[in-house]
Amino acid sequence: MEADTNNRRCQHCDSVVSRSFRRVFGDASNVVHRCRECDTTARLSRGSGAGIDPGVPDPETSPGRHGGSPDSLTASSAGD
Listed in sequence order, the residues at least 6 apart from 13 whose beta carbon sits closer than 8 Å to its beta carbon are 34, 35, 37, 38
Per-domain residue ranges for the chain? 2-78
Quickly count: other Cβ atoms within 10 Å of residue 13's Cβ.
15
- % of the chain beyond a pLDDT of 70: 71
In the predicted structure, residue 50 carries a pLDDT above the cut 70: yes
Higher pLDDT, 17 or 74: 17
In the predicted structure, residue 79 carries a pLDDT above the cut 70: no
Dihedral of the alpha carbons of 11, 17, 20, 21, in degrees to the nearest 10: -60
Global pTM exceeds 0.85: no
Average pLDDT, the chain: 83
The dihedral region occupied by 74, where left means phi > 0, alpha psi between -120 and 50, and beta the remainder, is alpha
